[in-house]
Structure 1
Amino acid sequence: MPAPSPTTRATFLRSTAESFVKAFIAGTSPCSILDTYFTSSAQIHEHGPAWANARLPFLGKTFTGRRQPGSTPSHDGGSTCDDYYDLLSRTLSFHPTERTAPASVEFVVDAEALGPGGEEEGKGVVTVKMSAAFKSVKSGEGWEEEFVYVLSGFDEEGRIGRQELWADPLSAWVAVGE
């Protein structure tokens, strides 16, 4: 069977990315999101300064793969994609606004681009800018911000191999407090 055309693959990747974003906004459980939208060896990396890890333990490190079935969540920072979502949800709460879900045309797709893993990952990169309100679980202090997802390394079934995030770590740092 011939490989799909770049246009068809771009439409497919856009659809996958949109579906992932809608599931995230709807509050779908992280485990379901990882099961549905990510490869088993996926990576998640939220960019940010290493000095912020004391308050924001999900920043600046790469979380890889999934937690083994039946194992308990790590309380030491862990390193799986499940641990990323655990750390994030113990630190911040997410509150979608009317501007959170971008229109389909705002998903920038390059079906032939290689992500940071190069040839080892699948082809395709999708970039999307979103906005939402966040709140510190600890202090209750909130803020609104724009953030960017870059999804790459898609497998043939359209599952995401890598998610990179760029957000506003200074606002999160201040909101979380000491």
Structure 2
Amino acid sequence: MFAPNAHHEIAKTRYTILQDRALAFCSAFLDLPNNPPDKLLSEHFVTDGPKITEHGPEWANKRLPFLGRTFSGGDECLEYFSLLSDTLEFIPNKQTFPGKEGTIVDDTAFAGSKTARGDVRGMVSVVGRAKFKAVKTGQSWDEQFIYRLSEFDEDGRIGHWEVWADPLSAWVAVGDEKQ
């Protein structure tokens, strides 16, 4: 016989944990003033070697210094946020991130790298839409971008956050690196 309210006490699956954590992470970007980088890292990332990679050509580092490299560890991840916010402003809206129906979750996928935690499985992809603005020029544009979250720990904290965005629009908006 089932215990009273047993139907309300269903254990979360790995899939649900990863999806919920990914959506919570994305939601934090909708209220950046109350979610500064150190809070994002402490609440959503593993403590032992988080990584952030924003993919793009290395030659674009002259104008977009956060692009084309992996920032590893807490201090480097904070550096990523600093370089990013010195260059671009992120202007989200209510439709920036999809709900559960708009996430792709594979709780058994392997990102291709081993961590101190071993062969870490699980990947979540989310497509977002927002306006971005170059800090120095004020030029803005709308774009779609993709977040791929992987290397989660047992609690669903993110080990690696990868971003694919539109570096050409950012490059043009930021303008000449001599500014």
TM-score by length of 1: 0.86
Alignment map for 1:152-167 (pairs within 5 Å)? 152-167=150-165
1:13 aligned residue: 18
Q: What residue is the counterpart of 1:112 in the other structure?
A: 108
- What displacement does 1:99 show? 2.2
Query: Does residue 1:26 correspond to 2:31, yes or no?
Result: yes
CA distance in 1 between counterparts of 2:54 and 2:108 reads 24
Q: Confirm or deny: 8 A CA contact 1:122 1:156 kept in the other structure.
A: no
Alpha-carbon distance in 2 for matches of 1:20, 1:103: 12
What letter matches 1:98 in structure 2? K
Q: Distance in 2 between matches of 1:37 and 1:63?
A: 16
Q: Compute the RMSD of aligned alpha carbons.
A: 1.3
Letter in 2 for 1:20: F
Does residue 43 of the first structure (1) align with residue 85 of the second (2)? no
Amino acid in structure 1 at the alignment position of 2:138? G
Gaps of 5+ in 2: 1-11
Partner deviation per Cα, 1:125-159 (whole Å, 9 max, x = no partner): 00000000000001000000000000000001111
* CA displacement at 1:122 relative to structure 2: 2.1
Deviates more, 1:25-34 or 1:115-124: 115-124
Contact 2:19–2:105 at 8 Å: present in 1 too?
yes
CA positional deviation for 1:97: 2.5
Task: State the match for 2:86 in structure 1.
Answer: 90
Query: What TM-score do the two structures reach when normalised by structure 2?
Result: 0.86
- Give the % identical residues: 48
Q: Any idea what SS the aligned residue of 2:173 has?
A: helix
CA contact (8 A) 1:147 1:166 kept: yes
Is there any run of 5+ residues in structure 1 with no aligned partner, and where? 1-6, 68-79
**2 CA distance for matches of 1:18 and 1:95?**
18
Query: What SS does structure 2 have at the residue aligned with 1:39?
Result: coil
- 1:25 Cα shift? 1.9
Helix, strand or coil at the partner of 2:149: strand
Q: Map 1:48-87 onto structure 2 (within 5 A).
A: 48-67=56-75, 80-87=76-83
Deviation sequence 1:49-85 (CA, Å, 0-9, x none) = 1110000000000000112xxxxxxxxxxxx111000
Give the letter aligned to residue 163 of structure 2.
L
Question: Hey, what's the Cα distance between the residues in 2 that align with 1:121 and 1:83?
Answer: 27
Give the distance between the partners of 2:78 and 2:152, measured in 1 at CA.
19
Instruction: Note if 1:102 corresponds to 2:109.
Output: no
CA distance in 2, matches of 1:127, 1:12: 14
Is the 2:30–2:94 contact (alpha carbons within 8 Å) kept by the matching residues of 1?
A: no
Q: Given the alignment, which residue of 130, 133, 136 partners 1:132?
A: 130
